[in-house]
Amino acid sequence: MAKTARDLLLETLENLGEKQFKRFKGKLNDWEVPDGYRRIPRNQLEKADEDDVADLIIRSYTESYGIEVALGVLAAIGEMDPHEKLHKSWQKVAASTPPVKPGADSQRVTPTDGQHFVHRHQVALIKRVSHIDPVLDGLLGDGTLTQEEYDTVRSKGTPQERMRQLYAYIKAWGEIEKDKFYQYLLEENGPLVRDLENN
């Protein structure tokens, strides 16, 4: 039977050491979430075990965004191995999930008419993109970012700070560069992009 988002979360949390799990809960309580979501109260997290925390994340944030929150928290506390493993596992699960709306896939894989995807969803992308480094690598590799710009973005601590810095450069980009950014986002953060395109 295919694994669910909750299964992946539980597996990830159980593989953290006791100290790291405590740090995860502390950071999760402080995590900045978009409008429409509420932070998980500290009193619910304090005595929660891995099973409870997985439930709280899914109940509070739904599956897709819950995974994004967990990825962001793991990156923020420096747990990059579990972050990478969870990201890869979730990409496989999300890829095997049928689209919510019939025929929506063909409309979601390219930016829609009007305002470009990267501007239309700027606030959500800054808050929700947690797997940013491979996107930056792609943008450096194709010449969209200079080495200096790349190093400046990478020097920022959290995924949110890196995205904010990247958006400072995006303002000067043309449609071609924005399309490249969109494609890298789709490759590395596919579930998030599809979620935003669907709403």
Q: Taking 70 as the threshold, does the pLDDT of residue 38 lie above it?
A: yes
Q: Taking 70 as the threshold, does the pLDDT of residue 3 lie above it?
A: yes
Is 158:189 a contact under the CB 8 Å cutoff?
Answer: no
134: exposed, middle or buried (Cβ count in 10 Å: 0-12, 13-18, 19+): middle
The rounded distance, in Å, linking the Cα atoms of 24 and 82 is 12
Q: Taking 50 as the threshold, does the pLDDT of residue 90 lie above it?
A: yes
Note the helical H segments in 33-109. 42-46, 50-61, 63-76, 80-95, 104-108
**pLDDT of res. 64:** 79
The rounded distance, in Å, linking the Cα atoms of 130 and 59 is 20
Residue 96 is encoded by which pair of tokens? Answer: 């095997």
Is 98:2 a contact under the CB 8 Å cutoff?
Answer: no
Closest CA to 190 of 129, 114, 137: 129
Give me the mean pLDDT over the 18-45 stretch.
85
pLDDT, tens digit, for every residue of 114-151?
A: 678 888 888 889 888 888 889 999 999 988 899 999 99
- Average pLDDT over the chain reads 83
Q: Taking 90 as the threshold, does the pLDDT of residue 50 lie above it?
A: yes
Full set of structural domains in the chain with CATH: 5-95 (1.10.533.10), 104-194 (1.10.533.10)
**pLDDT of res. 101:** 38
pLDDT classification of 61: cutoffs 50, 70, 90: confident
**pLDDT of res. 2:** 66
Which residues have C-beta within 8 Å of that of residue 156, sequence separation ≥ 6? 162, 164, 165
| DSSP character at residue 102 | T
Q: Is the pTM of this model over 0.75?
A: no
